[in-house]
Chain A
Amino acid sequence: MAMSLIGIVLGIAFFVITQAQTSGFEAFFIRTILGTNGAIKISDRFQDMDGTVSKVSKDGNFQFFFRSREEAQYTEGIRFPDEIRNALASYQDITGISEVLEGTAELAGSSRSFPVIFQGIRYHDHSQVSELNNQLIAGAIVDFAKDPMSILVGNRIAERLMLKIGDRIVMKGGTGTLQLRIAGVFETGVSQIDKKRIYIHLSTARQFKGERFAGSFFQLALDNPDKAPELAAQIQYHLGHRSVSWQEREKVWLDVFKALRISSAITVSSILLLSGLGIFNVFAIMVIEKTRDIAILRSMGFSRFDASAVFLWQGLIILFLGVLLGSFFGFLSTYFISEIPLRIRGIFSTDSFVVNWDVFHYLWAISLASVFVVIATWVPARRAGKIQPAKIIRETL
């Protein structure tokens, strides 16, 4: 029985630990991508709205559904940004709107050049839809804000071109060349961004690119990022521009995290299942061993429920101790794991294990343990309650 209790304790603890880790990394990844690319991206204009989005009225509530976009026609960029901005301002869930002009260029340092993707932004707007402020690891954001010919570069670009704050750098491509001053170096942790992206002022980007609208998009921040798919569908329907939520944009990674989380939950649940089987075996044997005692107790006036209750109580005590100790060890272990140094760069940036403190991890672990223990206890307990005293006593004599 002690082994079964240990199994329940470890099962709950491991469940909490693995869920804290997997969901921790997932939550951190989501924070990173929301802080980098925003919750919704509004880009190209549609030409055949009917083929892509449909609106259905259900009990007075409208719901929006996507169909295939494969046949949709797009016009690159946002042609009337001011009108779109005004329309977006009417959505209460949107907390930030940033107009961005994106394009490709080549950065030329003192000794080598490097291809980059530039994003022209208005700093004030963009700070409301990203964590750019917090992602800055060198330089000052105010220097960027006040100088239209300044530039923020990803840390991997800065490393490759050996750039320092205040250095002058030439951006080639588009309508010609621009000489820009390094105002800051940022690190998002997403390697594809850190080694490709630079930020310049929107006006400078327009001047550099020569095209006013091609490559332009809006990046939005939401009050509740979970509402992004629904809102993106509405925006796409109403404004006729392609709107992509962060969930759709990062579907691959989110699916990977989800699969990882479920997989670890299933794996760890097997510990609880095995412990449940252990408890079942112990109780089943105990019922067989105690059949005579149960029959005697029944002859003394103990009811069927009394006979079952002996086992149910033992099961509940095991469950209670398992939940208490398992949750405690899970909590403690999660804390110690969060202190373990671990440098990760690529999809996000962290220097230690990322954990997510969520009461639902405990509730899930407790629920699973409860289901296994209750079933493992209930079946033998029911059998104990069904013992026929006369038959058992007759067979014993």
Chain B
Amino acid sequence: MKHPPLLQAKNLKYSFNETGTSTHVLNDVSIELFPGEITSIVGPSGCGKSTLLYLLGLLDRPDSGEISLNEKDVLKCDDKKRTILRNHKLGFVFQFHFLIKELSVLDNVALPMRKAGKSKTASYEKARDVLGKLGLLDKSNRFPHKLSGGEQQRVAIARAIINSPSLILADEPTGNLDTENSKKVHSVLSKLAIEENISVLIVTHNLELAQSCDRVIKMRDGRIIE
């Protein structure tokens, strides 16, 4: 029996309004994401992949449509509630690691957990645990600029999963990495999806990486075509 969808989006529409001109980015996009499933979205640049990811990640609001997380409508939530949901239920990985350069690896990873109200000790303990799983425990006291690109991205993944989210949203997570590191990052995400029953949505240009996912969604001109 298939699980109910973790996240369900229906008829999402989104447009940019700049200097009085409206540009439609998403047109009636609907998508379902399931726990333990790794899904990729592919398509040409500007087709609305990242915009869809930000809408599903509650970083932005669509012009119309519905988004429900665990069968609860999250579009009507106020900013405070959406912020809490991002902290507890969602994890983001971007093309660039976006680690805070003033903080050590350990501090960077522990940050979302500290925000969730957990103690420093508990946060650091969990951060070490997660870093250990990703093979970075020995780098925990380093600062981000002392790490390789692949390591930085794995730290970003560690930061995304420390609060045990239901969904990881990855926007071109391997876009800035070489082939070997891309494989490593993809392997980590796949492992997390299986072992932690996390749903992973990856936006990518890398067709090889996309094909290795459970499901591939193709987009063009703001619509899902396949």
Contacts and interface: CB of A to CB of B under 8 A. Distances in A.
A191 to B, nearest CB: 66
Contacts of B94: 296, 393, 397
Contact of B112 (A301, A388, A389, A396): A301
Contacts of B57: 299
A298 B98 contact: no
A303 B78 CA distance: 12
Interface in B75-92: 79-80, 83-84, 86-88, 92
A39 B163 CA distance: 75
Given A293-B100, A390-B60, A302 B83 contact: yes
Contacts of B80: 303
Interface in B133-183: 159, 163, 171-172
Nearest to B87: A301
Interface in A89-129: none
B54 A298 contact: no
Contacts of A296: 94, 98, 100
Interface in A340-397: 388-391, 393-394, 396-397
Interface in B100-159: 100, 111-112, 115-116, 159
A382 to B, nearest CB: 15
A257 B50 CA distance: 68
Contacts of A298: 59, 83, 86
Interface in A264-305: 292-293, 296-304
Interface in A284-331: 292-293, 296-304, 306
Nearest to A293: B100
Contacts of B83: 298, 301-304
A301 B114 CA distance: 11
B29 to A, nearest CB: 16
Given A389-B59, A397-B50, A301 B84 contact: yes
Given A299-B59, A389-B59, A397-B171, A304 B54 contact: no
Interface residues of B, number: 27
Contacts of A302: 83, 87, 115
Interface residues of A, number: 20
Interface in B57-84: 57, 59-60, 79-80, 83-84
Nearest to A393: B94
B51 to A, nearest CB: 8
B87 A394 contact: no
Among A292, A296, A298, chain B packs the most CB atoms within 10 A around the CB of A296
Contacts of B163: 301
Given A390-B54, A393-B54, A301 B60 contact: no
Contacts of B30: none
B86 A300 contact: yes
Nearest to A304: B79
B26 to A, nearest CB: 13
A397 B112 contact: no
Contacts of B11: none
B95 interface: yes
Given A396-B96, A397-B95, A300 B54 contact: no
A301 B80 CA distance: 9
Given A394-B50, A397-B50, A301 B86 contact: yes
B79 A300 contact: no
Contacts of B96: 396-397
B95 A301 contact: no
A394 B54 contact: yes
A368 B84 CA distance: 38
B96 to A, nearest CB: 7
A305 to B, nearest CB: 9
A300 B59 contact: no
A369 B88 CA distance: 40
Among A292, A301, A303, A397, chain B packs the most CB atoms within 10 A around the CB of A301
Nearest first, the 9 closest Cβ-Cβ pairs linking A and B are A301-B87, A390-B60, A390-B59, A390-B54, A301-B86, A296-B98, A300-B112, A303-B83, A299-B92
15 contacts: A293-B98, A296-B94, A296-B100, A298-B59, A299-B59, A299-B86, A300-B159, A301-B86, A301-B87, A304-B83, A393-B54, A393-B94, A394-B50, A397-B171, A397-B172
Given A302-B115, A397-B172, 10 more contacts: A292-B98, A293-B98, A298-B59, A299-B57, A299-B86, A300-B86, A300-B111, A302-B83, A390-B54, A396-B96
